Amino acid sequence: MTARLIDGKAFAAALRERIAGAVATLNRAHGLQPGLAVVLVGEDPASTIYVRSKGEATHAAGMLSVTERLPADTPEAELLALVGRLNRDPRIHGILVQMPLPPQINANAVIAAIDPAKDVDGFHVENAGRLAVGLPAMVPCTPLGCMMMLRDVLGELRGRSALVIGRSNIVGRPMAQLLVAADCTVTVAHSRTRDLPGECRRAEILVAAVGRPELVRGDWIRPGATVIDVGMNRIPGDQPGKTRLVGDVAFAEARAVAGAITPVPGGVGPMTIACLLANTVTAACRQGGIAVPALA
Ligand code: GUN
């Protein structure tokens, strides 16, 4: 069997088109232009690229895009003051502070300072708690994108066995919560899991989010399973000085066994930015007391 490729790039492009349509309608019908502020502290090269892409995508969808760049030695109090100003700015409906932050800044303090209604990353404990107890919440973008792709591939998720590898606050934990909310039977594996291959072989849905290049081998995968690879790992390439991007799953091996699989790149990555835009529209509507348009 050769698995169906889950084309995250095409999926994200279609979602972004629907978002742009919803933004145009909000503008016309309610005079509302959703606004997203992205804050970058320092000049980490990967973060710089991500922040530029987020700004461009926001603008392309017809939303207000504000990018705030602060030097790497910015004191925590200064960043907190900026977050406070953005919380009070009525043009801004979503705030994202790009991680990682420099060592003098406590990321948890910054996340706690963001108005939960504007927390389009879904990192604030209020949003994490709301997700955990089944209340409407801002949901972290990467797991949200994974759920959209899973629903597209599988339709009904109820009753399926799912394994999430990784327990980060950004991906693994919220992913597990979303799968539980969709009535899956969910196992969370991590670095202390005793029999990871065995856990994988039981899973109809496998989500790998550990940041270990090609950890999951083809013979760990249950035949026909749906595999979502969140990993983005740079490893040495075939030529000297070159690198290549691989996921947490050994793609060629897995593709021969799985029913459907996301590639890296071109799978989960493009969906994360599209879901950030979707969250910004959701946040703007909730703040404006307007019904949230269906985007998924
Ligand atoms: N750094 C890497 N991924 C993310 C993300 O999803 N949100 C934020 N704020 N920072 C990140």
Q: Residues lining ligand 1, judged by CB closer than 6 Å?
A: 96-99, 121, 141, 170
pLDDT digits (tens, 9 = 90+) for 275-291: 999 999 999 999 999 99
3-state secondary structure of 168: coil
Please report the pLDDT score of residue 37 as a whole number: 98
Which helix or strand (DSSP H or E) is residue 30 part of? Answer: helix 8-30
30-115 with 141-269: one CATH topology?
yes
Distance CA 230, CA 167 (A): 13
In sequence order, which residues have a C-beta less than 8 Å from that of residue 119 and are 6 or more positions away? 94, 95, 111, 126, 127, 138
Torsion angles phi and psi, residue 232, rounded to 5: -135, 90
Task: Take atom 9 of ligand 1 and give the residue whose Cα is closest.
Answer: 98
64 burial level (CB within 10 Å; 0-12, 13-18, 19+) = middle
Contact 177, 186 (CB under 8 A): no
Please report the pLDDT score of residue 75 as a whole number: 98
Among 52, 108, 121, which residue has the most ligand 1 atoms within 8 Å of its CB, making it the best to mutate?
121
Measured from the CA of 142, which atom of ligand 1 is nearest? Answer: 6
Please report the pLDDT score of residue 203 as a whole number: 98
Arithmetic mean of pLDDT over the chain: 97
Q: Identify the band that residue 128 occupies on the pLDDT scale cut at 50, 70 and 90.
A: very high
- CA max distance for the chain: 56
Q: At what angle do helices 268-288 and 45-60 cross, to 10 degrees?
A: 50
pLDDT digits (tens, 9 = 90+) for 75-113: 999 999 999 999 999 999 999 999 999 999 999 999 999
Domain boundaries, the chain: 30-115, 141-269
pLDDT digits (tens, 9 = 90+) for 4-62: 999 999 999 999 999 999 999 999 999 999 999 999 999 999 999 999 999 999 999 99
CATH for 30-115 (3.40.710.10, 3.40.50.720, 3.40.718.10, 3.40.50.10860): 3.40.50.10860
Give the total residue count for the chain: 296
DSSP string, 74-116: --HHHHHHHHHHHHH-TT--EEEEPSSPPTTS-HHHHHHHS-G
Taking residues 177-205, what's their average pLDDT?
Answer: 98
Taking the alpha carbons at both ends of the chain, their separation in whole angstroms is 29
Looking at domain 141-269, what is its CATH homologous superfamily?
A: NAD(P)-binding Rossmann-like Domain (3.40.50.720)
pTM of the model: 0.96
